[in-house]
Structure 1
Amino acid sequence: MLRPHPAVLRRLVDEYEALAAAVPASDPAAVSARARDLAYTLCVSTGTRDVERALEVAHQWLATAPAPARETIQQTVTGQHVPTPEPA
C-alpha cells in the first residue's frame, strides 16, 4: 500500500483534529463539510474505514517517519544565500 508523504499526512491530521476540537461532542451534526472531507481523506490515505482508526494509524506512521529535511543554504555565483526549497 502506498503511504502519503509525512508532511501531507501531518497537515491532514492537524487540520482534522483542529476542526474536531472546535465542534462540541454533543452536536455531531455540526461537523463541517471540510471535516467530513478530511475524515474521508484520512481513511483513504491510511486504508481504514473509521476516522478514529485512521487517526491512530496516521499517528503511528508519523511517529516512525523520518525527520523532515532541513532547509539548506546554497550560495549562488553572485555570493547571495538562496534557501533550497524542500522537496514536494
Structure 2
Amino acid sequence: MAHPAVLNDLIDRYQTLRLLNPKAPEVRRRLDDVSYTLCLATGTSDIDAALLAARLHLPGARPHDDSAVPA
C-alpha cells in the first residue's frame, strides 16, 4: 500500500480530472493513468475499489464502519 500522502495526491488528481471533460483525449488519458496508478497503489483492480481502499488508509479513516449496526 502506498504512503498516505501519495494516496491523497492520487485521489485529489482523480477528483480534479473527473470535473473536466472526460471526452477530451488528453483528459481521458490522464484519468486512465491516475486510475491505473490508484489501482496499483492499492492492490485493487477497479477504480471504485481503489478509491475506497485509498480513503481507508488516509489519516483519520475509520477502519471499521459500524454505521449499519443498530445502536
TM-score of the pair, normalised by structure 1 = 0.58
| Counterparts of residues 43-54 of structure 1 (less than 5 Å) | 43-54=39-50
User: How far 1:29 sits from its partner (Å)?
Assistant: 4.1
Aligned CA RMSD, in angstroms, stands at 1.6
Task: Report the counterpart of residue 84 of structure 1 in structure 2.
Answer: none
What is the percent sequence identity of the aligned residues?
A: 47
TM-score of the pair, normalised by structure 2 = 0.70
When the two structures are aligned, how many residues end up with a matched partner? Answer: 58
Task: Report the counterpart of residue 12 of structure 1 in structure 2.
Answer: 10
Q: Which runs of 5+ in 1 are unaligned?
A: 65-88
Task: After superposition, give the CA deviation of every residue in 1:23-80 in whole Å (9 maximum; x if it has no partner).
Answer: 3xxxx6445211110000000111111101100111111126xxxxxxxxxxxxxxxx
Richer in strand (by share):
1
1:38 matches 2:38: no
SS at match of 1:32: helix
Q: Which runs of 5+ in 2 are unaligned?
A: 63-71
Query: Which consecutive segments of 4 or more residues in structure 1 shift more than 3 A?
Result: 28-31
